[in-house]
Amino acid sequence: MFLNLDYGGPSRELFYLLSRELFHPYYGLFEYSAPNQYTVQISPHSNLVQQEMQWLNSLKRRCGMFRMELAGRVLGLALLHRCLIDTFFTRTFYKMLLEQPVTLHDLQDVDPEFYRSMMWIRENPVDPSLGMTFIVTEEENGQVVEKELLPNGDELEVADHNKEEFISLMVKWRIERGVQRQSQALLRGLHQIIDRDFLRVFTVEQVELVLSGSREIDLEDWRKNTEYRVGARIFDNFHRNHTRWRKVKSTLCNQTNFRLFVAVATPIHLYALTIIDRDFLRVFTVEQVELVLSGSREIDLEDWRKNTEYRGGYFDEHVVIEWFWDRVAQMSNAERLKLLQFVTGTSSIPFEGFAMLRGSNGPKRFTIEKWGEESALPRAHTCFNRLDLPSYPTRHILKAKLHTAIMEGINYAIE
């Protein structure tokens, strides 16, 4: 039940929860890239997923690849509204979004065995006795079949003079294996929301950081960008641009162009950019797309604390606030992300850091306000990135109450 209005918190949580389900490998559309990796990619078996998923049953007849188109639309809307998602994809997936060619190096983490095999061929003379030809074997509908990498590939032997072409074709086959139709469907959905040429301005790092944020919480940045209330007065001594570009400088191939993207990445400008020459937009790399789409989940505790504001009588040296930050410093990164999710509606951090946490009307710093009786649990206002924190009498009580609120996900308020 809404107390008043939705100023953005529920919208951010909608993208967070929807993406967590839609892209989860459990449903068969996507899969983990490796046993020890939590990045996901399109599953080759996604075309076999049964179409009896109740939540899509009424729409499945419109298009055989509707679910993948839906995934593309969700990504497009997340970009359009600058909402973070709870998913990190492989580098090859982001390159697919950008329609950029994949290199052998991109597969190093996605398929280490394949990568090592191709590198061995590249770095060693080809042994003619092996009888390698431009053919691969793959499983199709439960049967092992041969597929030519190019016409008459079964008659063309791999040798030193053509092994680079062989490697290039093998990389292309490995990426497209069983997912070509699904990839095209996802791109159709994405391009229904955002013009395809506009996406080419990004690098992989930018797309990931903007879509998924950072996995690590910078406590100093969080605290620095939190507001503290004393009646209607807000104490704000933070210089907003101090850490704006600190986290992304090392990954950007073109700082000027990326800043241009950040300046125009609002819905009205996204529509306007559909008329911009596509060659201008191609200056961006896959890394930049990843940064923009997914954001970052690396938490810088110092950045968090520096970008925190206090209200209602709290201030940075207040004993309850000291207890609060001491507790956050003791948390694991997963617990910090849960705290961030509880207060802001998302568990990712904008690529600019805590200084640019988004609220209902643009950037809104993490805020802690003195509120409630000592017996009450902390309360969150996700539209305003605000934590209502009672003035608990002891450190132990604060720890217990905060833990209960975060882990149970209760006391969620909307203004």
**pLDDT tens per residue, range 204-234:** 777 777 777 776 777 888 888 887 764 333 3
Q: Is residue 380 part of a domain?
A: yes
Q: Is residue 98 part of a domain?
A: no
Q: Is the pLDDT of residue 152 over 80?
A: yes
Q: Is residue 65 part of a domain?
A: no
Q: Which of 63, 83, 253, 383 is catalytic?
A: 383
**Residue 230: CA atoms inside 13 Å, Cβ hemisphere, count?**
9
DSSP 303-324: HHHHBEEEETT--TT-HHHHHH
Q: Is residue 282 part of a domain?
A: no
Q: 253 an active-site residue?
A: no
Could you tell me which residue, 282 or 373, shows the higher pLDDT? 373
**pLDDT tens per residue, range 35-78:** 666 788 898 877 766 444 444 554 444 444 788 899 999 999 98
Domain that holds residue 312: 212-253+295-413
- Number of structural domains, the chain? 1
**pLDDT tens per residue, range 67-105:** 889 999 999 998 888 888 888 888 889 888 888 888 888
Report pTM.
0.56
Q: Is residue 381 part of a domain?
A: yes
- For residue 298, give the H/E element and its range: strand 297-301
Q: Is residue 327 part of a domain?
A: yes
C-beta atoms surrounding 125 within 10 Å: 9
305: Cβ–Cβ under 8 A, 6 or more apart, which residues? Answer: 219, 220, 221, 222, 223, 224, 226, 316, 325
Amino acid found at 309? E
**What are φ and ψ of residue 408, in 5° steps?**
-90, -15
Among all chains, which residue has been given the structure tokens 């899509």?
56
Q: What is the CATH number of the domain that holds 314?
A: 3.30.2410.10
How far, in Å, are 184, 316, 326, 400 from residue 396 at the CA level? 54, 19, 11, 6
Among all chains, which residue has been given the structure tokens 């391009």?
191
Alpha helices in 239-357 (DSSP H): 255-264, 267-272, 278-281, 286-294, 302-306, 319-330, 333-344
Cβ atoms 214, 79 nearer than 8 A:
no
Cβ atoms 190, 289 nearer than 8 A:
no
Q: Is residue 223 part of a domain?
A: yes
How far, in Å, are 5, 99, 104, 364, 372 from residue 369 at the CA level? 20, 46, 51, 14, 10
Q: Is residue 366 part of a domain?
A: yes
